[in-house]
Amino acid sequence: MTAGSSTNLERAKLRFIEDLKEAGITARSVLEAIKKVPREAFMPPAFKAASYENRALPIGEGQTISQPYIVALMTHALDVQPAHKVLEIGTGSGYQAAILCKLARRVYSIERFSSLAAGADKLLATLNITNFVGKVGDGSVGWPEQAPFDRIIVTAASPKVPQPLLEQLKVGGLLVIPIGPQEGEQRLMRYYKRNDGTIGEYFLGNVRFVPLVGKEGLKPDAKSA
């Protein structure tokens, strides 16, 4: 990357941070985490110049890196604290995980595609992010061996909330997930586990995500590989 393009990206990032503030993303910790993580490092070479444009972009395997505003919105809604243990479903490029790692004690992440998981592991290590643990598997069933979690974030849309994720969420914990059909708009939801075990919910907005494929999501045979 040339010095000029690097400067342009830095300017684009600063403009993007200001746009986030105007859009209501005001938590200083979230904004600082976004500032510290170079989104361009997670982009395919052909799209690096578009790193801070507010659009989802392809990363291979039919998957995308989410719009940076949606990443910020989900992170803000998750309200991650320094002592928290976080589960992420859908590692993808590793960008969301990198931001979470700036906020949490430890982040566990599950990715369905081994190629994406390997790429994210390598990139996060290159960025000296050491509080990340990833694996390849079915994210819809969570990571019971590491449960419970203070926070869970799902970066793929499910027809319903996977029950295993609710079970692996601590009392007082938050789960952020897009709910809806494979095609068309979905509802980005935040779920809160009350002291009596019941679940409260809050609607964050309409979104479009790739589907959550797995035992508790979209069945693998319902979607071509």
Domains and CATH numbers, the chain: 3-222 (3.40.50.150)
Q: Which of 99, 140, 100, 133 is nearest to 117 (CA)?
A: 133
> Mean pLDDT of all residues in the chain?
92
Q: Which carries the bigger pLDDT value, residue 218 or residue 108?
A: 108
Q: Which pLDDT score, from 0 to 100, does residue 4 have?
A: 52
Q: Which pLDDT score, from 0 to 100, does residue 65 have?
A: 86
Question: 4 — phi, psi (to 5°)?
Answer: -65, -45
pLDDT above 60 for 225: no
How many other CB atoms are found less than 10 A from the CB of residue 36? 12
Which alpha helices (DSSP H) does 61-171 contain, by range?
Answer: 68-78, 95-101, 114-126, 163-167
pLDDT above 80 for 70: yes
* Percentage of the chain lying above the pLDDT 70 cut: 96
Q: Which pLDDT score, from 0 to 100, does residue 2 have?
A: 55
pLDDT above 50 for 134: yes
CA atoms within 13 A on the CB side of 30: 22
Q: Which carries the bigger pLDDT value, residue 54 or residue 37?
A: 37
pLDDT above 70 for 221: no
Give the Cα separation of 124 and 112 in Å (integer): 18
From 29, 51, 66, 140, active-site residue: 66
pTM higher than 0.85: yes
Q: Which pLDDT score, from 0 to 100, does residue 7 have?
A: 83
Q: Which pLDDT score, from 0 to 100, does residue 222 have?
A: 54
Q: Which carries the bigger pLDDT value, residue 184 or residue 122?
A: 122
Question: What tokens does 138 get?
Answer: 């079915």
In the chain, the largest separation of any two C-alpha atoms, in whole Å, equals 56
Residue 171 pLDDT class (50, 70, 90 cuts): very high
pLDDT above 60 for 52: yes
140 annotated active-site = no
- Tell me the mean pLDDT in the region 11-32: 93
pLDDT above 60 for 202: yes
* Percentage of the chain lying above the pLDDT 90 cut: 77
pLDDT above 90 for 197: no
For the chain, the helix, strand and coil percentages under 3-state DSSP, each to the nearest 5: 35, 30, 35
pLDDT above 70 for 142: yes
pLDDT above 70 for 57: yes
